[in-house]
Structure 1
Amino acid sequence: MLIGELAARTQVPAKTIRYYEEVRLMAPPARAPNRYRDFDQPAVERLKFIRGAQSLGFGLGEIREIIAYRDRGETPCAHVLDLIQRRSRELVERIDELRRSQKELEKLARRARRLSPKDCEPSQICHLLAPAGSD
């Protein structure tokens, strides 16, 4: 199948498919006599895998590692489990960071409701974000 059909079947833009080929996420396809790329069904499956992994937050480097296992004839599942566990821990840490930020913003909002815009000094960009105690 031509790149346009592959793009339509996978909803991945042709430009992205070419990029994946360039960075070796996609194996170079066979070429038709007219030199057009001629993709097969495994290319469809690989693109779906790449997009699915991306939707879970995996980067192209991690996806490339997973694909490399398979390309060597190895099962990547143990490696993928390690990546999943690491990604899960990173998400827990990020959620904690976001919760801390949310609490800080709520504290700032409470403080901001007590302050008057008239009290904002010209030397301050915005006194609502000035360190506490400087108002």
Structure 2
Amino acid sequence: MRSLLEACSDDLPGLRDRALLSLAYDTGLRAAELVAVQIADVIEALDPEARLLSVHRSKGDQEGEGATAFLSPRTVRAVVAWTKAAAIIDGPLFRRVNVRRFKEMAAVKGRRIDSISGRERWDLRKTLLKPASAGAGRI
């Protein structure tokens, strides 16, 4: 688990992923249960560095009674870092992060877009119009 958490970067997606992984480890929640966690579900605990998570309903809770899970200080730090960086104050804890990362390339000087050869044009279409894979949204 430590290796997974250390592999998360310090940018917005990395902070979110670190909080998500840490919360999943502490609680054992399934993916659908994790993404359903709301800010209001994280409640104070006796230990000032820890928190409790109110789980309203889970697949294993057939009676619908709900449960409470302990969040370690490590998880609390990860969640606080994520919510501060993403400016989240209410609603869902885990949200989509739109970050576009483009590879920096040298400019093609002295050429217009319509003068690109057929092969280069095909490469552009292949690069710019890649369909999303079926498993791209899975956790």
TM-score for both structures, normalised by structure 1? 0.26
**Bigger Cα Rg:** 1
* Larger RCO (CA under 8 A, 6+ residues apart): 2
Higher normalized strand content (fraction of residues): 2
Higher normalized helix content (fraction of residues): 1
